[in-house]
Amino acid sequence: MNRTRLALLAVGLSIGLTACGSNNGGNSSADGSTEQSGARAIFEQNCASCHGENLEGGFGPSLEHVGSELSKKEILEQIKTGGGGMPEHIIKGEKAEKVAQWLASKK
């Protein structure tokens, strides 16, 4: 393969991989919408070690369908007060609000 073709192939692969990896700063869901303002990233940084990366549970309970059981307000209260092995205020303020809203949507 000559150098020109090799260079074009490299550029094409680079552009293709960049496009595939781009998600505009958020996590895309199956329907193409961005996860609620980084709520999933906050969850992954603070909660996934106990509740699992895919909400499947582990040391802590599964949260896959927590929105069917608890409202946003109840989830936020759990985040604030902790209990059952969960420390209180593991996330605070606006971050806690975002995660509670995101989890409440998990039906």
Answer for the pair 98, 42: CB distance below 8 angstroms, yes or no.
yes
Tell me 82's DSSP state: -
Question: pTM of the full predicted structure?
Answer: 0.67
Confidence of residue 88 (pLDDT cuts 50, 70, 90): very high
Sequence-separated contacts (24+) of 50-57 with Cβ below 8 Å: 50/85, 50/86, 55/106
User: Where would I find the H helices in the chain?
Assistant: 3-21, 39-46, 48-51, 66-69, 72-81, 93-104
Q: Give the contacts of 70 (CB within 8 A, at least 6 positions apart).
A: 78, 103, 104
User: How far apart are alpha carbons 85 and 88 in whole angstroms?
Assistant: 9
pLDDT in tens, 1-54: 554 444 434 434 334 332 333 333 344 444 334 577 799 999 999 999 999 999
- Res. 74: pLDDT tops 50: yes
